[in-house]
Amino acid sequence: MNSSLLRRIRTRGSTEQGFLSFFESGNDVPFTIARVYYIYDVPVETRRGMHVHKTLQQVLWCPYGEIEVILDDGNEKKSYLLDSPEKALLVLRGYWHDMYWRKEGSVLCVAASDYYDEADYIRDYDEFLRYAQEGYWDK
């Protein structure tokens, strides 16, 4: 499992005036951003995700709330808690991901490397394991 998937988002500001966080394609995110979407009004303890992308790369951040993301590369599962607007999680191609809403009102924002394409999703876990075992995402 790649240990550098959790990144700190560059932030400017003060407790008196508030904070501004930002990231840039190329400088902070290792792909060009083609699409942004966000998920909100999700009941606490809801599980979403449950898929892997064949090629899509994404960065996830939670500007408000607490969302747990579990990444699974087919060998190992690792849990990441997005509980600060300064945390970003890279979800590179080939990582099965589940997201759990841990706090009411939590918002998940996503910047993605490509447009929406349902054909890029594998939503069957056994099929994901077959792809991973066959080395589909290996260099």
The yes-or-no answer on residue 51 being catalytic is: yes
Do 122 and 51 contact (CB within 8 A), yes or no? yes
Residue 63 identity = P
Residue 48 binds to ligand T46 (criterion: CB under 6 A): yes
Q: Which H/E stretch holds residue 82? A: strand 77-82
- Tell the smallest beta-carbon distance from residue 16 to ligand T46 (Å): 34
Q: Which of 37, 38, 40, 64 binds ligand T46 (CB under 6 A)?
A: 37
Do 97 and 49 contact (CB within 8 A), yes or no? yes
Q: How many other CB atoms are found less than 10 A from the CB of residue 123?
A: 12
Q: Which of 49, 65, 74, 94 binds ligand T46 (CB under 6 A)?
A: 49
Q: Which of 86, 110, 125, 137 binds ligand T46 (CB under 6 A)?
A: 110
Do 58 and 108 contact (CB within 8 A), yes or no? no
- Tell the smallest beta-carbon distance from residue 131 to ligand T46 (Å): 16
Among 7-15, 22-30, 32-40, 124-132, the segment contacting ligand T46 (CB under 6 A): 32-40
Taking CA atoms, 137 is separated from 87, 106, 129, 130, in Å, by 25, 31, 11, 11
Among 10-18, 20-28, 34-42, 77-85, the segment contacting ligand T46 (CB under 6 A): 34-42
Query: Site residues (CB under 6 A) for ligand T46?
Result: 35, 37, 39, 48-49, 58, 60, 110, 116
Catalytic residues: 51
